[in-house]
Structures are given as C-alpha cells and as structure tokens.
Structure 1
Amino acid sequence: MDMLLGVVVMLVKMAVVLGVALGLAAYMILLERKLLGRFQVRYGPNRVGYFGLLQPLADGLKMLLKEDIIPDGVDRRIFLVAPAVVAGTALAAFAVVPFGDGLTLFGHRVPQVVVDSNVGLLLVLALSSLAVYGLALGAWTSDNKYSLLGGIRGAAQMISYELALGLSLVPVVMHARSLSLSDIVAAQAGLPFALLEPVAFVIFIIGSLAETKRVPFDLPEAENELQAGFHTEYSGMRFALFFVGEYVNMVLLGAVTAIFFLGGWHGPFLPPIVWLALKVLAVPVFLIWTRASLPRLRYDQLMALGWKVLIPLALLNILVTGALLAAGV
C-alpha cells in the first residue's frame, strides 16, 4: 500500500510540476510581449481574451496548424528530434527543484520535489548543459550555412559561460556544505547568499543570461547577421519547441536563482510558496527588462567577457571565500 501511494504521489508531483512549468512558459511569452510593448510605448497583445490572456492559446493553436516543412538534404531523424532535446532537458531539470519544506499527506511527510537528490545542483548543471546538443545538432543538420554558424556560436557560448556559471556556484556549496538544493535553501534561513556572495551572484546572473541566449547574448540567433540563426530552417511546432525550451529555461533560471541565492521560500509575513513564486517571477522580468534596455554584444566581446573576465573573477572569488571560511569569518 505504501509503495502504491508513493507511485501515485510521484505521478501527481510530476504532472503538477510539468503543468506549472509549461503554463508559466506559455504566459511568460505573453508577459514579455506586454512588457516590451510598455517599454516601447505601444500596446502588446490585447485582442484574444480579456487583456490578451488567451493569446498563448491562440499562438499554440496557430503553431500546431502550420505546415511542418523539412528541407531537402537534412538528416531527417536528427532534424526532427533536435527541438525536443532543447525543451526536454529544460523540463527534466525541474525534477530536482524543491518548492517547499514538505507537506503532510495521510500521516506521511511528502517532500515538495519530484526527486529529492543529494546531488541536485550537479543534476541541474548537467541537464542544462545537454541543451546545447539539441541546438548544435539542429543547426548542423539543417544544411544551411547560417544555421551552422548560429549553432557553432551557440555551442561555444554555452560551453564558455557554463564554466563561469558552475564556478560561481562553488562558494554557494562551500557555505551550504551540500549539493542538495533543499540543504542550500535551508542554509539561507538567516541571510540569502546573494548578500553573502554578491560577486558570485552577479557572475551567475550574467552566465545565466548567456545560457538562455537572451539579449545582450543572443548571438546564436542574431537576425541582422544570420537570418534566424540555428532555427532558420524550422517551422510549425518544431520551431515553437525551440522557444518553449527558451521560456521554460527562463522559468528554471528563476527557480534556481531563488534557490541558490535568494533564500528560496524563506521570507517574513507571506506564506513560503508566495515568497518563492515572487522570487521566481522576478528573474524573468529582469531578463525581459535587459532585452528592452541593452544592445547586443559583438561575438569577440562576448567570448572575451566570458574567458578573460568572468572565469578569472569566479576563481578569485572562490579563493577569497575559502580563505574567509578557513579564518572563521
């Protein structure tokens, strides 16, 4: 009976997490279009449903009904699978993201996470790194030189900034003394790591911008140089899957930023889930704000920032943090 209950709880948690993640990703597109409209002194979508709230459903239906074109000369199997890799890896990372301390259900304590892993941080980094395969394979198999250039840019960019992003999390692990995401949140009950480790927090945010290919790091697309970059030859729902992956990644970035640096669900006066939701949503709003505010970097500037600035700074920050912890500060 306990085994059956455990399986049912696991399936329910998976369904809830997938539903919430996909729903937030869909409405993140609407939020971005509305906010960019306000930033640019114009209206965003406001015709489909009250205040445009049904626009994501209309967009999804439009993409489902569009013709799925497969160009001549492509490797058909890889071409079809590549967009699913980008979206699937982002969704899979939510399996280890905790959303609270836990709930009591039928006398049992149920963790508010699909898989309560003691190496959750490593799993998040590993799954986020796998997304580059979908991008690179989709670009390579498209048989288009612009797509190939965008894929090469994307692979180089994600490898470079993944290194800086991973190094920025080392001080977090040093403070929490654990790779478990739940333990990292528990270690911030008094003070969030964004205040204890401001340098690591800034490096993490910049690296995350590059990881999600958001302005000013959207060089793999760079429409003024590469048409549409790595997804030039995609259409219909496969084209949409690339953007589902991007917006799910934005929600995932908000969740892991809240957990690693903003104290997770800890906060005064409001319920824990409300604090977590506010922190998770604050990060995508910041990403949208940067898109409206900053110009795109040149590719040499992008790579120089990663290798010559962020990585040395992250290594120096690890040394300083280690020295302070060893001194008992």
Structure 2
Amino acid sequence: MFDPNAIDPAAVVQCSENATCGVVWSIAFTLILVIIILTGFAYTTLLERKVIAWLQQRVGPNRTGPAGLLQPLADAVKLIFKEDIIPEEADKPVYYLAPILKVVPVLIVVAVIPFGPDILIPWFDGNWYQVPLSVADVNVGVLYLLGVTSLATYGMVLAGWSSNNKYATLGGLRASAQMISYELSLGLAMAVPVMIVGSMRIGDIVNAQPNVWDWLVFQNPLAAGILVITLFAEVGRAPFDLPEAEQELTAGYMTEYSGMKFAIFMMAEYVGMIAVSIISISLYFGGYNLFPVDNVPLLGPLVLIGKVVLALAFFVWVRGTLPRIRYDRLMAFGWKILLPLSLVSVAWTAISVVLGDVSGNPAVYGISSLIFFIIVVAGGYLFLSGSQDDSEIATPETDLMNDPVVTGEPRSIGWILLNLIGGLVAVPFLLVKGLLGALEGLGSAGADTVTSDEVAIEPVEPAGD
C-alpha cells in the first residue's frame, strides 16, 4: 500500500472494471467521506472560536474536555434539547424542506473531487484492488461544481420566504441577489483552469499541477483571487454575510429557525467552507499534490486535509479582520469590479494559451504572471504612496458628485474606457438601424406602381423620415 511498485501487476484488479468492486467501493468511500466531513464541520466551529480568540488575545473554549476538544459535542447536545419554535403562519412544508435544500448541495458537491491518487487495497481473495479516492471523477466536473453550488441558494431563499417574517424575507432576497451577482465571476474564474488544462475533469486539472511551481495560481493569480473572493460570497462568510446581518436583519433568513433546524443551517455554512476550500485547492493550489505524494499515495488525503485546514484558518482570519461592508457596495463590487476583472482574466488566459501553443513554449505563462505581478506591485505602491488630506476624503454625500460616470466629466482613464466601450457596443445597433432603414426604403419604392383592376392608385408616402 505504501509502495505500489513492489506489487505484482498481475495481482492488481482495476476496481473501475469490476462491477462489484465499483459499487461496494463507491458506497464505502461515500460513507467515509460523509463521516470525515461531518466530523470536520464539528471541529471547524472549534477552530473558528480558537483562532478568533487568539486574534483577540482571549482564551476561547477550554473547559469542556481536554483543551476544550469536547466543546462541539456539548454544542450538539444543547441544540438537540433546545425548544423548536415554529411560526404559526409559516408555510410548513417549505419551512421544513429549506434546511435540507441548504445542506445537501454542500455535501454532494465534493463527489467529483479526487482526494488522492489511486491506491491499492488487499482483499481476502489474494488480489489487490486499485481504487480511486473519489466518488465519481466525471468528465464535466467543473460544470457539476457550478450547478450544485448554485442550488444552495434555494435553501436560503425558501427559508426566508416560508418563515412569514419580513427580516427573513429580506435575508432571502439578499442571498439570491448576492449569489446571482457573484456566480457570474465565479463561473469565469472556474473557466480559467479549464482553458489552461484543456479538460473539465477535476482529476485532470489536479494532475496538471504535480509540483508547487505548476500550481495554476502562479499562471493566473488574478483568476485565483477572484475565485477565492467569490467563494467567500458563495458561502455567505464575512465580509459577505449580508443575508444574515444581525444589525439590520436580526439573523436574516434564519430568524425563525431554532433547535436542530438552526444547527442544520450552521452545519451547511461550515461544511460549505470545507467544500469551497477543497474546490479552490483542487483548481488552483495543486489539490492533493505535494512532493512525497508521488511515492506514497496514501499521503494524498493527508496533504489535502492539511491544505484545507490552512484555508479554513484563512476564512476565520478574514472574519476576525475585515468588517462587513454596506450592501450597495457589496453589489457594486461584484458587478463593477469583479465581473470586469474576471473577463480580463479569461482574455489574459486565452491569449497566453494561444501564444504558448504557437510558440511551443509554456514559459509564456510565467512571463504573463510576472507582468501581472509587476502591475500589481506598481499599482499598490502608487495607491499607498498617495497623500490625502481630510478635506479630500470622500463622504457618502459626495461620492456621486465625484463619480465621473455620473457627472460625465472626462478626467480619468475610466471615463475614456467607458465611452470607448460604449461606442463599440453602439456599432451593431447603428448597423441594424441602417439595415432597417434600407429595407423600409426598398418597400416604399416597390409601392409606387401598385394597381388594382387596372386603376392606378396614388403612391402612399412612407411614414417617418
């Protein structure tokens, strides 16, 4: 099991070619995966409380069990025996179904993710069975991720609507608008690895990153950054937790949920953190690959778990650092900044792929990444080095007055680009308008000699111009 090269190939049976092995292994691996993820959810809550306590120079939970390790069990027992209150005017079937619609997609989304290379397992019949560490590595894995991640939105929207509560309804509406806005950029960021590798299979994308320097984050860091930000918004984590903002909405779409239903929503959030961490690691950060994995396949799941723990710590770090932003700023950030940047990242990748194919030199990816890094460093330096007096600080009242898009004042490169793009977009409409005018002219010219029963009829002047 630790050295597959030492096993006689004649004694190895491919599990994918054996019907019994395929069914049994799929069920067994699914059960193992669900148990690991649910256990990871419980201890992710403890990790968050510990890391935030460390950031704020506090102790955190340390009384239940040794070093507080039994705190998730205590929380589960408390929620099991907590009173379950249901609103009298709630839509009962939808109210009960919403938590399930929220938690099921985040559980099944990891079905197409490989957790390691194929491993060999001995069995009682004397054979070694080569089994994959994935439930189903389908050839449209990226499309599966996009489709399943968008389903969780239904759980939040229906939970808010069925609760018969205005705060919950507003939370559901916020969730739907936020997901629609950020999933556009998410889809474009997921398209970049597909363009680079030439496959939608997650296993192929992971296998294309065998070494650290082969990670796709170094070939397109812009797309990787956009993916991470949009996945934050996808799971509703701070600073994108506006659907459940307690300052305005008391608890958002979860306002009328308590007991185990509330626990299911919490489980969906933390399992979603684990799932999106696995997705981002598989697409841009090498997946289960690291130096020892080539020789010891069993280290693959351990490497992936280690990367996931670091990603979860990053989630908690962001929550403990950044404040929640205003909702209109949240939407503007998604539509006005992330979406254009994601289009730029896709175009950048397309150009790099074409140049690499033409020249036959994959170093063009590194060159493009270096150029991007220089631009980021130069832009950050110029941004941080600029001085600003108190009189120059913009307020919400002066934001619109200083916006060249609103005032039309040509004083920035953004204004020039906006007008240039607007002019290019207007060209097809002008061509269509000219074509319609020409067709109307031809129709009116043919009406000049129309007769009926050999009686000439006066030509009718065309309307309009």
Q: Common fold, TM-score beyond 0.5?
A: yes
Q: Distance in 2 between matches of 1:317 and 1:38?
A: 36
Q: Deviations over 1:258-310 (max 9, x none)?
A: 10010111112463333212211111110100000001010011000100010
Q: Deviations over 1:209-243 (max 9, x none)?
A: 11111111110011011111110000000011111
1:126 is aligned, of 147, 169, 173, to: 147
Aligned to 1:152: 173
| Alpha-carbon distance, 1:58 to partner | 1.1
Higher RCO, 1 vs 2 (CA within 8 Å, ≥6 residues apart): 1
Q: Distance in 2 between matches of 1:213 and 1:61?
A: 26
Q: Which runs of 5+ in 2 are unaligned?
A: 1-14, 122-126, 294-298, 357-363, 365-465
**Aligned residue type for 1:176:** V
Compare CA radii of gyration and give the structure with the larger one.
Answer: 2
> Aligned with 2:59: secondary structure?
coil
After TM superposition, the structure 1 = structure 2 runs for residues 137-286 of structure 1, keeping only pairs within 5 Å, are 137-190=158-211, 191-269=214-292, 271-286=299-314
| Alpha-carbon distance, 1:5 to partner | 2.8
Question: Does 2:288 correspond to 1:288?
Answer: no
2:92 is aligned, of 64, 76, 82, to: 76
2:79 is aligned, of 32, 44, 63, to: 63
> Aligned with 1:117: secondary structure?
coil
1:17–1:94 Cα contact (<8 Å) kept: no
Q: Distance in 2 between matches of 1:241 and 1:163?
A: 27
Q: Deviations over 1:302-326 (max 9, x none)?
A: 0001000101110111111111211
Q: Distance in 1 between matches of 2:145 and 2:348?
A: 25
Q: Distance in 1 between matches of 2:108 and 2:302?
A: 23
Q: Distance in 2 between matches of 1:284 and 1:274?
A: 15
Q: Distance in 2 between matches of 1:200 and 1:3?
A: 40
**Aligned residue type for 1:325:** V
Aligned to 2:325: 297
**Aligned residue type for 1:308:** K
Q: Distance in 1 between matches of 2:30 and 2:291?
A: 29
Q: Deviations over 1:181-229 (max 9, x none)?
A: 1000011124101111100011011101111111111100110111111
| Alpha-carbon distance, 1:121 to partner | 1.3
> Aligned with 1:104: secondary structure?
strand
1:71–1:142 Cα contact (<8 Å) kept: yes
Q: What is the root-mean-square deviation in Å for CA atoms of aligned residues?
A: 1.3
**Aligned residue type for 1:53:** L
User: Taking structure 2 as the reference length, what is the TM-score of the superposition?
Assistant: 0.69
Bigger mean CA deviation after superposition, 148-157 or 95-104: 95-104
Q: Distance in 2 between matches of 1:34 and 1:280?
A: 17
Q: Distance in 2 between matches of 1:147 and 1:47?
A: 35
> Where in structure 1 do 4 or more consecutive aligned residues deviate above 4 Å?
none
| Alpha-carbon distance, 1:107 to partner | 2.8
Aligned to 1:22: 38
> Aligned with 1:183: secondary structure?
helix
1:253–1:283 Cα contact (<8 Å) kept: no
1:121–1:179 Cα contact (<8 Å) kept: yes
**Aligned residue type for 2:188:** L
Aligned pair count reads 329
Aligned to 2:114: 98
1:32–1:288 Cα contact (<8 Å) kept: yes
Q: Deviations over 1:131-168 (max 9, x none)?
A: 00000000001000000011100111011111111111
User: Taking structure 1 as the reference length, what is the TM-score of the superposition?
Assistant: 0.97
Aligned to 1:325: 353
**Aligned residue type for 2:352:** L
Bigger mean CA deviation after superposition, 246-255 or 38-47: 38-47
Q: Which runs of 5+ in 1 are unaligned?
A: none
Q: Deviations over 1:104-136 (max 9, x none)?
A: 234332111011211111111111100000000
